[in-house]
Structure 1
Amino acid sequence: MEAVLSKLGLADEGGGPVAPERMTFSDDGAIPNTRLATLLFRSRGLDPQLDREAVADCFAPLFTANGWRPSWRGGVYDYHHYHSIAHEAFAVLSGWGRLRLGGEQGDDVEIRAGDALVLPAGTGHCHVQASEDFLLLAAYPEDQRELDLIRADPVEHDAAVARIAKVSRPERDPLGGELAHWWP
């Protein structure tokens, strides 16, 4: 997998996955978020010979080999929402996008082709702006086959918090690193 990580610009000096930026967001009463860090693996630059399909052909088997099942391609909804029964990973296949993470008062994060983002269950996310060619590949841990979609709603909050507490933690992040290192 070292060659794949290198093509995606996601290999560190030793050939393993780059260390992610880690962000945490507070519960705002409508979006629970979580104490687990959102992980942003920033690409150092894609191999220039890779087009969008080749990037997808790199990410899909990488995610699969690490226990994250690729599910769909597309963008992110333009309203604040979260998932209470699954963690979610995105690979940016092309373009760039700005997402607001953590709810209305959260932080805007720009992601670009080659980047990978891991959202722990409960983490709010929303599309803010993107290039016309922005495309994501989404993936979920193998044991998390169901996916809910919950808008920012205080009425749903407490039940969602209870479900989030029961979501299992995968052994590895989608790039192959030990997830316990990032989610102690």
Structure 2
Amino acid sequence: MSILQTTKKAVEQVTGIARPGRREVADLLRPRKPNEFRFSDDGLVPNHPFWPLVVYRGAVTLPEDFDPAAVIEALFEANGWGDSWRNGIYGYVHYHSRIHEVLGVARGTAKVRFGGSKGRTLSLKAGDVAVLPAGTGHQRLSASDDFLVVGAYPPSGTYDLCTTAADHAKAVVTIPRVGRPRKDPVYGSNGPLLAAWKRD
């Protein structure tokens, strides 16, 4: 996270300036159907064996009254997804084998390849949210100069960063063990994510 974004986040959390309250966050949500994408193992990136990448297009309204990153952070926090950060998306393929991740676009646009070499490139813009089950490969291919993402994680799981073929063997064992989150990071307890990520 850049020094500017770190400072802004700290000031917003302490003062509440440019940060919406819970009721205001709820008013900024738009109901959206989930776009689901399933990817197979490409030998480097396992992807999730059962659960799809879920993308909500234009799910969050980002008014000028608030810092857009603060809006997305507040939304994720309200639904129990924390340890948030502000930055871009790495320009190399990577995945997390022991935790799920949500990415909310606060500013700008980007082309992101999900799923590794057998995956799909999606164009993301401000207000879009992508929810990645453990194992889902992701890589920024290009982005506007102002591109900013908020990332967060459910309360259970352990962050790791997998990038090499050597990570693959362990990852295929740990990925299916990562439990389903209790809440959708965007729509909460009754969100579409919970239906898309059915318990086995």
TM-score tier, shorter chain, comes to 0.7 to 0.9
Q: Please tell me the residue identity of whatever aligns with 1:110.
A: S
**1:148 and 2:163 aligned:** no
Instruction: Calculate the aligned-residue CA RMSD, in Å.
Output: 1.9
SS in structure 1 at match of 2:177:
coil
**1:82 and 2:81 aligned:** no
SS in structure 2 at match of 1:104:
helix
1:61-76 aligned at under 5 Å gives the runs: 61-76=74-89
**1:110 and 2:123 aligned:** yes
Matching residue of 2:30: 11
Instruction: Determine which structure has the larger helix proportion and give its number.
Output: 2
Quickly say closer, same or farther: Cα 1:91–1:50, change in 2 above 3 A. farther
Gaps of 5+ in 2: 1-21
Please give the alpha-carbon distance, in whole angstroms, between the structure 2 residues aligned to 1:56 and 1:168.
27
- Give, in angstroms, the shift of residue 105 of structure 1: 2.8
Q: Please tell me the residue identity of whatever aligns with 2:81.
A: W
Matching residue of 1:38: 53
Contact conserved, 1:60 with 1:70, CA < 8 A, in 2? no
Matching residue of 2:34: 20
Gaps of 5+ in 1: 13-17
Please give the alpha-carbon distance, in whole angstroms, between the structure 2 residues aligned to 1:87 and 1:45.
20
TM-score, with normalisation over the residues of structure 1?
0.86
**1:97 and 2:110 aligned:** yes
**1:161 and 2:172 aligned:** yes
Contact conserved, 1:98 with 1:109, CA < 8 A, in 2? yes
Measured against aligned partners, the alpha-carbon deviations of 1:63-113 in whole angstroms (never above 9, x if no partner) come to 112111042111111111110011000111100111000002311011111
Instruction: Determine which structure has the larger strand proportion and give its number.
Output: 1
Q: Please tell me the residue identity of whatever aligns with 1:109.
A: L
Quickly say closer, same or farther: Cα 1:97–1:147, change in 2 above 3 A. same
1:127-138 aligned at under 5 Å gives the runs: 127-138=140-151
Contact conserved, 2:30 with 2:60, CA < 8 A, in 1? no
The number of equivalent residue pairs is 173
Please give the alpha-carbon distance, in whole angstroms, between the structure 1 residues aligned to 2:184 and 2:60.
20
Please give the alpha-carbon distance, in whole angstroms, between the structure 2 residues aligned to 1:115 and 1:2.
20
Please give the alpha-carbon distance, in whole angstroms, between the structure 2 residues aligned to 1:78 and 1:63.
24
Please give the alpha-carbon distance, in whole angstroms, between the structure 1 residues aligned to 2:98 and 2:89.
18
TM-score, with normalisation over the residues of structure 2?
0.79
Quickly say closer, same or farther: Cα 1:27–1:50, change in 2 above 3 A. farther
Which of the residues 156, 161, 179 maps onto 2:193?
179
Runs of 4+ in structure 1 off by over 6 angstroms are: none
Measured against aligned partners, the alpha-carbon deviations of 1:99-130 in whole angstroms (never above 9, x if no partner) come to 00000231101111111110110000001000
Contact conserved, 2:54 with 2:193, CA < 8 A, in 1? no
